Structure 1
């Protein structure tokens, strides 16, 4: 168990499991007992996670078009998925030995314990062409591109590169990655942040951030968790998804298309942004697993 005198954020790393997730119109939380809760749009069954057990990480497809799915990593290294499956992005039942997962628009990506990567789903722009990757320690999936963090702190990417979101070959000393609609974000070991890609809505304006320990990317906004438990945000704010300046005691953050979720140190959850389908109605969630904690 983590030392109770150590700030929770210090237990975070590139391989830390995702304890909360945000899709386009739904939100997902991993509870301390390994079960999962969800809120928001369930037209495609992306919130049908009530029967899941022994889950250690969650991911949610964040499609700006609204069709989403939810993925869960089990303690035995297998993977489950529910929701929109038009492109076979939920066909993960044969996966084994997985240690991390990511969900993009129309696809699911999984990291094996040997550092190789699997992907299923839409591949029209090469976003699933990850079979040759090795020495990967963390993943991120944008709408049309997939990003892998390598063990040496460099980053690789495949898929749509129209706006330069895959031009990250010169990045170094990266400890975490995130991917949005058309942008990519990297957290450096010194707590600064880099970003590449489409910046019309200023989601890449993160060069002034300091003391960051975790990052998240929505469709057109970027979120950074500081070491003191406060949060930065940049980019599109039409629905208030960047109004996080008052947040405190946060230990994890995720970003959906147009909403942002924060996990607090007491296991409760807060959210801001677009709430048309109830995706921000997470105030009643209790006992969400904290970083560094196992089942129970």
Structure 2
């Protein structure tokens, strides 16, 4: 699913139906400076795990012409994407940006201390996800590629089959299967990988320590840490897309408004006045 919502460590980003972007939350590093963006078709927000007491984050926008714009924290050159072209999907992790090209190859910018940016030999990729220290690629045949930190087995997804969507959290990875079930690998200290009983899912998202699943009936399932109330979504209805930040969760309703739950210390959940957020659907992307 092409993301119209994105959630970072302390900020939230929404893509509007007119191709402009709105953002709320911590703006210490300019990660919410998106008011002048135009012709955007997808957004991504860099996350930071809660153990790191910093709001350092960045925001990336994919333009209709296949180029990127980025703003925010750039210590590791994760915002140096101006020269990229033919991009059809984008993901943002901690200190890096990952782009999927129209030919199925992948590019990355930013930190690579743990090999999380070693994606240049990937082929036939149709979607990408970025955790804090690992990167996941979904291949056209429904299998998965991975790179980066594997301390907790978060990269142990090579045996997965029939995957149609991937998500990456701090130290865990989630895959949505074609039959609507969900699989997960990695750190499960807070139960964030306990998704084996989920059914009828159409989309997924991964926060630092929680996992979110969108059901076909527009309701939402969640597993994992709920210290900040990020899992309090049982009353959500008519949801068509979900996003998960460090400790907050966003849900896009069918009417273009947004629901939020969880950590709101920096106003990242103050989205009640958002409207006209672009609904999921096919968009015109660059052709190879």
Q: Does the pair score TM above 0.5?
A: yes
Shift of 1:67: 1.1
Q: Is the 8 A contact 1:34 1:53 kept in 2?
A: yes
Instruction: Encode CA deviations 1:209-242: one digit per residue, 9 max, x unaligned.
Output: 0000000000000000000000000000001100
Q: What's the counterpart of residue 31 of structure 1?
A: 16
Is the aligned partner of 1:236 residue 2:221? Answer: no
Question: Structure 2 unaligned runs (5+)?
Answer: none
Superposition map of 1:56-95 within 5 A: 56-64=41-49, 65=52, 66-95=55-84
- Residues 189, 159 of structure 1: alpha-carbon distance in 2 compared, 3 angstrom cutoff: same
Secondary structure of 1:137's partner?
A: strand
In the TM superposition, what is the alpha-carbon distance from 1:265 to its structure 2 partner? 0.0
**Partner in structure 2 of residue 54 of structure 1:** 39
Instruction: Determine if the alignment matches structure 1 residue 126 to structure 2 residue 115.
Output: yes
Provide runs of 4+ in structure 1 moved above 4 Å: none
For residue 2 of structure 2, the aligned residue among 12, 17, 28 is 17
Does 1:101 pair with 2:86? no
Q: CA RMSD in A?
A: 0.9
TM-score normalised by L of structure 2? 0.96
From 233, 240, 243, the equivalent of 1:251 is 240
SS of residue in 2 equivalent to 1:219 = coil
Q: Distance in 2 between matches of 1:212 and 1:182?
A: 22
- Partner residue, 1:200: 189
Pair 1:149 & 2:149 matched: no
Counterpart selection for 2:255 from 252, 262, 266: 266
Q: 1-side partners of 2:99 and 2:283: how far apart?
A: 21
| Pairwise CA distance, 1:293 | 6.3
Contact 1:192 1:209 in 2 (8 A): yes
Q: In 1, distance between residues paired with 2:281 and 2:182?
A: 23
Q: Structure 1 117/277 Cα, relative in aligned 2: closer, same or farther at 3 Å?
A: same
Task: Encode CA deviations 1:50-104: one digit per residue, 9 max, x unaligned.
Answer: 0000000000001123310000000000000000000000000000000000000
Unaligned runs of 5+ in 1: 1-15
Contact 1:32 1:294 in 2 (8 A): no
| Alignment: residue pair count | 280
Aligned to 1:6: none
Instruction: Supply the distance in 2 between the matched residues of 1:294 and 1:234 (Cα, whole angstroms).
Output: 31
